[in-house]
Amino acid sequence: MTDEPDGQTPSTPYHPEEMKATWDLKVGKSIALHGSARWTPAGVMTAGIAASAVLLSLAALIRATRKP
């Protein structure tokens, strides 16, 4: 939980290098999508390490299934 009331953003970011993005998408009259994203450089590095680990293990599985 945060100390800020609902609907208000804090005056200072939680992380000094924090990056934010928000977007609104309307499709026709009845569909409206609202989204936001927040990331830090540490989060980007963590996601890259996790993706590398998944791809490395996938490559090992594919190589193991090809050997007779």
29-49: per-residue pLDDT in tens? 899 999 998 888 888 899 999
Q: What are phi and psi of 24, to 5 degrees?
A: -130, 135
Q: How many domains does the chain contain in total?
A: 1
Structure tokens at 62: 């594919």
12 in any annotated domain: no
Distance between CA atoms of 32 and 24, rounded to whole angstroms? 7
Range of the domain at 62: 19-66
Whether 14 is covered by a domain: the verdict is: no
Its pTM stands at 0.53
What pLDDT was estimated at residue 6?
62
- Assigned domain for 60 exists: yes
- pLDDT for 25: 93
Region 44-55 average pLDDT: 95
Domain contains 2 = no
